[in-house]
Amino acid sequence: MPVFRLNPIAAVVAFALGAGSAPASAQTRVDVFRARTEQWVETRQLISQEKSDWEAEKEILEATRDLLAQQREALEAEIAELEESNLASDDERRDLLLERGDYQRKNRALEQRIRGMEERVLELAPRLPEPLQERLQLLLVQIPEDPAKVNLPLGQRLMNVLGVLAQAEKFNGTATFVGETRAVNGDEQKVQVRTLYWGLGQAVYVDSQGSVAGIGRPSEKGWTFSHDPDLVDDAKLLLDIYEGNVDVIEFVNLPVEIH
């Protein structure tokens, strides 16, 4: 039986000739197949690209989620700290308000005490000896008759009162010699006299001629001086001893009133 061998080149040529001679409907199916294949390939590429994009976006979203979780924890910790701080601030504010109230109460109590001292000083001022009143004038004028009408700090007001009391105590602990004019025989005659104040309790005076002498004592309306001719010699001797005008120092008898 004879054997036929197919030449590969002839087969390819035959296929080509056969394809060239294929009908139009077969060519259309090939085009459709080719187009669908291209669409399928394109779709697969799109799916692959979308999947790749989604994986990348997923990683970004997960990283964002983790970051937001960390921020949330940090914010929660900060809020807790602020709440604790607010509680501490509230406690501190309450303590400060309590301290302020206590300070205001003490300040009012101190002001009342200082005002009582001011009133007492103003009441006693006219009963002080005139030489002492002159020394205290700068302090006395600063003690207000009505504290509501002045704007002096409590510390300054207290220092004024203490200054008056300190000067009065110093005057009361010493003998004070002054030269002054004294009215005698009513207001008809005034003479120059030497006066020696024994603290705040009593004073004795005598004129330079040794003819007028008397005793001065404090009263509700101020100091009053009474002329006493019988005291001339003793008063003159006392003032001479005080000024060092005599060689011998001796005791001098003078009337004294103790209240």
Q: By percentage, how much of the chain surpasses pLDDT 70?
A: 89
- Residues 184 and 157 grouped into a single domain: no
- Residues 215 and 184 grouped into a single domain: yes
**Residue at 66 is within a domain:** no
Question: Where is average pLDDT lowest: 41-50, 98-107, 179-188, 197-206?
Answer: 179-188
Q: Tell me, what's the pLDDT at 185?
A: 67
pLDDT of 36 > 70? The answer is yes
**Residue at 47 is within a domain:** no
**Residue at 226 is within a domain:** yes
Q: Tell me, what's the pLDDT at 187?
A: 60
pLDDT in tens, 105-132: 888 888 899 999 999 999 999 999 999 9
- Residues 166 and 193 grouped into a single domain: no
Collapsing DSSP to helix, strand or coil, 68 comes out as helix
The mean pLDDT of 79-93, rounded to a whole number, is 78
Look at the block and give the residue holding tokens 């001086």.
225
| 42/207 Cα distance (integer angstroms) | 140
pLDDT of 2 > 60? The answer is no
Give the residue with greater pLDDT, 36 vs 118.
118
Q: Mean pLDDT, the chain, as a whole number?
A: 82
pLDDT of 13 > 60? The answer is no
**Residue at 223 is within a domain:** yes
The mean pLDDT of 53-67, rounded to a whole number, is 81
**Residue at 89 is within a domain:** no
| 200/41 Cα distance (integer angstroms) | 127
Q: How confident is the model at residue 15 (pLDDT cuts 50, 70, 90)?
A: very low
Q: How confident is the model at residue 173 (pLDDT cuts 50, 70, 90)?
A: very high
Question: Of the candidates 170, 192, 212, which is a domain's last residue?
Answer: 170
Give the residue with greater pLDDT, 222 vs 91.
222
pLDDT of 14 > 50? The answer is no
**Residue at 37 is within a domain:** no
- Residues 231 and 190 grouped into a single domain: yes
Question: Where is average pLDDT lowest: 79-88, 152-161, 240-249?
Answer: 79-88
pTM, entire model: 0.59
**Residue at 180 is within a domain:** yes
- Mapping DSSP onto H, E and C, the string for 8-36 reads HHHHHHHHHHHHHCCCHHHHHHHHHHHHH
**Residue at 122 is within a domain:** yes
- Residues 135 and 186 grouped into a single domain: no
Collapsing DSSP to helix, strand or coil, 90 comes out as helix
Q: By percentage, how much of the chain surpasses pLDDT 90?
A: 34
pLDDT of 89 > 50? The answer is yes
Q: Tell me, what's the pLDDT at 97?
A: 82
Q: Look at the chain and report how many structural domains it folds into.
A: 2
Residue 158 is part of which domain span? Answer: 112-170
Contact call for residues 180 and 211 (beta carbons, < 8 A): no
Q: Name the DSSP class of 247.
A: S
Question: Of the candidates 123, 139, 170, which is a domain's last residue?
Answer: 170
- Residues 182 and 159 grouped into a single domain: no
- Residues 179 and 239 grouped into a single domain: yes
Q: Tell me, what's the pLDDT at 217?
A: 93
- Residues 201 and 235 grouped into a single domain: yes
